[in-house]
Chains A and B, each alone.
Chain A
């Protein structure tokens, strides 16, 4: 009887269960199919992709397409492969994630433990900024980046992603810290602990789960961003913009195998993060955003 409490209370018949398993497997196929097609065809020579069956395993296995996508494929005007753009993305994503997460944590701390007049309005304004369509800020942002001399640079992209990322990170930490008893903070205050000391000693040690959420969210959003990259990237374009350039180029033969290899390379970092920590992400996200 001990196992009963974990089960759902609903009983299903044998036929219904077979049907459910079939359906779940069918959808697993649906989700896996594009990945399968990408991986398999990235390992074929081009002639086999264009002349053969997309679903078939390679007859000749080769890593040529991967090498080409990484270091020699034509991106825009120069045959550099995706390597320099991959590095741009790394240089952009690491500082942007770290800065926006640290700021979000501090904001969340202030908004929950140091209440002041109008704090709900301040938070409301920051929260709405998460949901704006970014088209509304594209034109002035381009002008400001130009004025600051940051147009077409990695630091410019870092700035953009921090500015439009702190709304979400603040939301996560605020909702998370809101469940933490404020009495403990007050007690520490009476004992003479200051603002940063309380944060460092009391809030930070319990922030693990929400930090996982914030870092994964920011990492995938910034790594996968295309609009800002293509608008403000200039000569320092991130991976997504480069991949799009590679795939959409209208000159020469379409090298499908190279496109697939490039797409997988572009997806690897975020896939890795999801596979390693995806579980904690969904769990933390639900705790942070739905119950609030």
Chain B
């Protein structure tokens, strides 16, 4: 009897083991992700200033947030930045991948050159471009030394143009990675399909437009998801490249949230801005993830 009870216990432990192994991760996710999200949502309805404070103030923080000039600048900037960044990276990545897929000699050398910026942190990228774009020692100065005296490139110091320098640096960093994703997609397409189309008299242009590009749909989707995810997190690059300046010209929601929460002692407003960032990301990610998960069942 004893041995069968023992065996029974052992089977039961074996049955429970998978759940026991997964449980800590799930508990940590529930607490550190969803618990924390709820707490931040709660804070956004409180009068927290420098420290958390649990008196409820209703929608007050959201009302204040949307009345702030800085927040409007941040919203406009993220709109400009995210759309340009996503579109340029996708177009550039797609074309580089298609060109690199034409039996190019030296592809093995070119690919890592396109890809390596992805290995760098946004802080390193920001540092490099900050000085390269600096009119005093960077590109403008070089052009003057080379004899093009009238050359002027002062975007990084210009309130209206500084946001585009962030686009340049971000595209530089990520477009090669997008290229690699499209290239992998292109390599996965069956050549027989392309040959058949060619025999039917399709031109190269038609071939790509009608057959190849539609078949790259998964790569488009993945790169869109990764790029929009990176865009809304854009904190590091702004800090390193422009510090949010000149003035507040390159303020983004990520920098706004940080400065209101930790340096301006407006934690309630900071929390409200974080909630809006999360909502924006959720609006993009949830349908995508839902479709991904549903497809597999």
* Partner-B contacts on A (CB < 8 A): 5, 7-12, 17, 20-21, 23-24, 27-28, 30-35, 37-38, 41, 49-50, 53-55, 103, 106-107, 110-111, 114, 116, 120, 122-129, 131-141, 143-144, 163-164, 166-167, 170, 178, 194-196, 220, 223-227, 231, 240, 243-244, 247-248, 256, 259-260, 262-264, 266-267, 270-271, 273-275, 278, 282-283, 285-286, 289-292
Question: A193 to B101, alpha carbons, bound, how many Å?
Answer: 47
Seed contacts A129-B33, A283-B184; 19 additional CB < 8 Å A-B pairs: A8-B186, A34-B129, A34-B172, A35-B128, A103-B24, A103-B25, A106-B22, A131-B289, A135-B277, A135-B278, A138-B257, A139-B267, A139-B270, A231-B258, A240-B236, A256-B131, A274-B115, A274-B118, A290-B218
State whether the Cβ of B21 lies closer than 8 Å to any Cβ in chain A. yes
Is residue B12 contacting chain A, with contact meaning CB distance below 8 A? Answer: no
Contact in complex: B131, A140 (CB < 8 Å):
no
Q: How far is the CA of A285 from the CA of B195 in the complex (A)?
A: 28
Whether B47 sits at the interface, judged by CB under 8 Å, is no
Prevailing SS type, chain A contact patch: helix
Contact (Cβ within 8 A) B296 A9? no
Q: How large is the interface on B (under 10, 10 to 19, 20 to 34, 35 or more residues)?
A: 35 or more
A137 / chain B contacts, CB cutoff of 8 Å: 32-33, 36-37, 40
Q: Report Cα–Cα, A286/B178, bound state, in Å.
A: 11
A-B contact pairs, 11 of them (CB 8 A): A28-B114, A35-B128, A125-B26, A125-B29, A131-B225, A134-B233, A231-B262, A247-B240, A278-B119, A286-B185, A291-B218
Q: Which residues of A contact B35 (CB under 8 A)?
A: 140
Is B94 an interface residue, CB under 8 A from the partner? no
Once the chains bind, are A131 and B285 in contact (CB under 8 Å)?
A: yes
Q: How far is the CB of B198 from the nearest CB of chain A, in Å?
A: 6
CA distance A129 to B290 in the complex (A): 14
**B39 interface residue (CB < 8 Å to A):** yes
- Binary A-proximity of B185-203 (CB < 8 A = 1, otherwise 0): 1101001001100100000
Of A32, A106, A135, A291, the residue contacting B254 (CB under 8 A) is A135
Minimum distance in angstroms from B161 CB to a CB of chain A: 19
* Set of chain B residues within 8 Å of A38, measured between Cβ atoms: 128
Chain B residue contacts of A220, Cβ below 8 A? 118-119
Partner of B25, one of A33, A116, A166, A292: A166
| Of the residues B172, B275, B278, contact of A30 by C-beta under 8 Å | B172
Q: Which residues of B contact A278 (CB under 8 A)?
A: 112, 115-116, 119
Smallest distance from the beta carbon of B268 to chain A beta carbons, Å? 10
Q: Note all chain A residues with C-beta closer than 8 A to B145.
A: 53
| Inter-subunit contact B22/A24 (CB<8 Å) | no
CB nearest to B17 among chain A residues? A195
**Looking across the interface, which residue of chain B has its beta carbon closest to that of A121?**
B293
Asked whether any CB of chain A lies closer than 8 Å to the CB of B239, the reply is: yes
Is A23 within 8 A of B99, CB to CB?
yes
Q: Within 8 Å CB of B210, what residues of A?
A: none
Q: How far is the CB of B82 from chain A (nearest CB, A)?
A: 12
Considering the chains assembled together, what is the distance between the CA atoms of A180 and B174 in angstroms? 32
Which B-chain residue is minimally distant from A38 (CB atoms)?
B128
In the complex, chain B residues 5-31 whose Cβ is within 8 Å of any chain A Cβ: 14, 17-19, 21-22, 24-26, 28-30
Q: Which 9 A-B pairs have the closest CB atoms?
A: A224-B121, A114-B18, A9-B194, A274-B119, A286-B184, A34-B128, A226-B236, A135-B274, A137-B36
Segment at the A interface, from B60-68, B83-91, B135-143, B148-156: B135-143
Residue pair B293, A120 in contact (C-beta under 8 Å) = yes
B1 at the interface (CB under 8 A from A): no
